[in-house]
Amino acid sequence: MPDKYTIKLSNFEGPMDLLLYLIKKHEVEIYNIPISFILEKYLEHLSLMQELNISTEGEFTEMAATLMQIKLRSLLPNLIVNEDGIEDPRTELVNNLLAYKKMKETAKVLTNLEEENKRYFYPSINKQLTNTMKKGAVSYNIEDEQGNVYDLITSIQQHILKQPQEVEEEITLEQYKIEDKMVELMKLLEHNQKVLFSSIIEKCNRLEIITFFLAILELLKQKKISIFQRKQFSEIYIKKTKLG
């Protein structure tokens, strides 16, 4: 895995998505964010993202600085919320998160409406759908949710933490290439409709896990695979797309 290979998450998720993910995952009240706790979890994810060669410059670093500033301000006297309306240093962050969350939800609704319109106005795309529509009924498969990249990172983190800190000397970066893992994944999906991500990396060492992760991101970018979950925060599955 070459050191120059760097992933930018702009096509997947950003720092606001990471914050909302952490808030929901740890069941934190968005109006009363425990800054110290969220900052700790945020920095943990940033540390792992850096190890995975994911660029954390720009917005990710700026968000970390914002969280640190809020934490410092919250430690100052007379800067806590009370009945007198003293300013809470978290207010701006909360408002930005709520606005971003609303925007994401609206975008999702619009995307779903677009897909629904395609089902009605372009029935020739799918013969089975056409036959169903002739019967006066359309069914949608809502069993699976689109996978979250941060759940992928969390899964990797859990596997890495199980491993000893020391890495055997004979393991070198040259042993694992992203291109090889991409081919390996695609071959695996030729014989399986879907594959559990954890089953792929359960017997891998640290460097191999990272290489698999980079291979998955590259295949996602090329739209050859998709990731999904049965429900949010559950295990990640990988499946081959029609384009793949």
Q: What is the pLDDT along the chain (244 residues), one digit of tens a residue?
A: 444 455 555 445 789 999 999 999 899 999 999 999 999 999 998 888 887 777 777 888 999 999 999 998 888 765 555 555 567 889 999 999 999 999 888 877 776 666 666 555 544 444 543 444 344 433 323 334 566 778 888 888 777 666 555 444 444 445 788 899 999 999 999 988 899 998 998 888 888 888 888 898 889 888 899 888 887 778 889 999 876 6
pTM of the predicted protein model: 0.66
CA separation for the pair 172, 208 (Å, rounded): 10
CA separation for the pair 67, 61 (Å, rounded): 10
Task: Locate the domains of the chain by residue range.
Answer: 1-140, 143-244
CA separation for the pair 122, 242 (Å, rounded): 18
Q: Could you give the 3-state DSSP secondary structure of residue 67?
A: helix
Residue 7 token pair = 């992933």
Domain 143-244 has CATH 1.10.10.580: yes
